[in-house]
Amino acid sequence: MFDVLTDLLTVLDSTMRLSTPLLLACLAGLFSERAGIFDIGLEGKMLAAAFFSAALAYVTENVWLGLAAGIGASMLLSLLHGVASITFRGNQLISGVAINFLAAGMTVLIAQSWFKQGGRTPALLSGGRFENITLPFADALSVIPIIGPFYKEVVSGHTILVYVALLMVPLTWWVLFRTRFGLRLRAVGEAPEAVDTAGVSVIGMRYSAVIICGVLCGIAGAYMATGLQAGFVKDMTAGRGYIALAALIFAKWRPWYALSSCLLFGFLQAVALRPDLIKGYLGFEVQVQLLDALPYILTVIILAGFVGKAIPPRAGGEPYVKER
């Protein structure tokens, strides 16, 4: 009755789509937190980006302009976070919460005033959406057992932003661990006074980190509104920014681990969509609620130190004061 390969491929295909926004937001948080700026405003930034990308894509019928608008909106909120927590040395958590509230209210308000559709954007037509792309040789390779169908069904057939997100992982690793900029960025999060002594601007480094964070959140939001969906719906991020934060802790602030933790969380979400498969293969029913809660449970286990240790950047959450 059950075809293992087909079932697995559909679940993995779904995993790819569900993991991508998590991965982008997780890497965004990684840049910011590695530089010592905690950011619980990922959710709000994604939401704002989702709205502005959908709005611009609808008005201009050009999805790339939409993407640019999404990134722009997310960067503005990032800068706001930066001004509050870097320049004015405010509390980073409070600023993050404020951004989440601001985005949740602002997007619906503007959507209502522009489009009069109850806080939604109208559905995007084809030019305003990212289309799924078929990777080269997807059909030719599909004759090879296992790898062929896997390549065709799971790897191929997503929007370009999925591949951008996947490429961001090695790129993030390379930037953070193989460039001078990355070394300084990490140092700012561990020992900002040392960076300052070396004559590098702590403020400047932290601002660049939050701006990178804004760009990545912008892509994540645009992917949701113009890649997966065809428009914006109020609160459509539905807590993914917080799951991304959990994934970041789960990944111990490392890029490759971030990839695996986001894929794992995405996989759990994808499995939760198919209670019939769980019952078919395991022989008993698993509560969907349990699967939904698993990312958080796993994160708590990691934080409690049962599996390895999650040590956040040492200067994280603290504004840098040059001279006391």
Partner 1 sequence: MSMMSKILGATAAFALSAGAALAEPALIFDLGGKFDKSFNEAAFNGATRWAEETGGSFREIELQSEAQREQALRRFAEAGANPIVMAGFAFATALDSVAADYPDTKFAIIDMVVDKPNVRSVVFNEHEGSYLVGMMAAQATKSGTVGFIGGMDIPLIRKFACGYVQGVKAVNPSATVIQNMTGTTPAAWNDPLKGSELTKAQIAQGADVVYAAAGGTGVGVLQTAADEGILSIGVDSNQNYMHPGKVLTSMLKRVDNAVYDAFTQGANLETGFNVMGLANGGVGYALDEHNASLVSADMQASVDAAAGQIASGALSVHDYMSDNACPVE
Q: Which residues bind partner 1 (CB under 8 A)?
A: 10, 14, 17-18, 21, 112, 116-120, 123, 224, 228-231, 233-236, 238-240, 269-270, 273-276, 288-289, 292
Q: How far is the CB of 272 from partner 1 (least distance, A)?
A: 9
Distance CA 86, CA 203 (A): 7
Distance CA 255, CA 246 (A): 14
Q: How far is the CB of 135 from partner 1 (least distance, A)?
A: 19
Is the CB of 81 or the CB of 240 nearer to partner 1? Answer: 240
Is the CB of 84 or the CB of 236 nearer to partner 1? Answer: 236
Which residue, among 34, 26, 86, has the nearest Cα to 314 in the 3D structure? 34
Could you tell me which residues come within 8 angstroms of residue 242 by beta carbon, excluding any fewer than 6 positions away? 40, 42, 43
54 is written with which tokens?
């959908």
Rounded to the nearest 5 percent, the helix, strand and coil shares of the chain are 70, 0, 30
Rounded (10°) CA dihedral 146, 147, 148, 149? 50
DSSP H helical ranges for 117-159 = 147-149
Which residue, among 19, 77, 17, 16, has the nearest Cα to 45 in the 3D structure? 77
Is the CB of 189 or the CB of 227 nearer to partner 1? Answer: 227
Is the CB of 212 or the CB of 268 nearer to partner 1? Answer: 268
Q: How far is the CB of 55 from partner 1 (least distance, A)?
A: 15
Q: Give the DSSP per-residue string, 260-323.
A: HHHHHHHHHHHHHT-HHHHHHHHSS---HHHHHHHHHHHHHHHHTTSSS-----TTTT----S-
Q: How far is the CB of 237 from partner 1 (least distance, A)?
A: 9
Q: How far is the CB of 10 from partner 1 (least distance, A)?
A: 5
Q: Is 158 helix (H, G, I), strand (E, B) or coil?
A: strand
Could you tell me which residues come within 8 angstroms of residue 154 by beta carbon, excluding any fewer than 6 positions away? 9, 12, 13, 16
Contact 29, 215 (CB under 8 A): no
Residue type at 154 in one-letter notation: V
Distance CA 170, CA 254 (A): 11
Q: How far is the CB of 29 from partner 1 (least distance, A)?
A: 19
Is the CB of 102 or the CB of 191 nearer to partner 1? Answer: 102
Is the CB of 205 or the CB of 228 nearer to partner 1? Answer: 228
Is the CB of 161 or the CB of 236 nearer to partner 1? Answer: 236
Q: How far is the CB of 67 from partner 1 (least distance, A)?
A: 17
End-to-end CA distance of the chain: 71
Is the CB of 107 or the CB of 208 nearer to partner 1? Answer: 107
Q: How far is the CB of 208 from partner 1 (least distance, A)?
A: 30
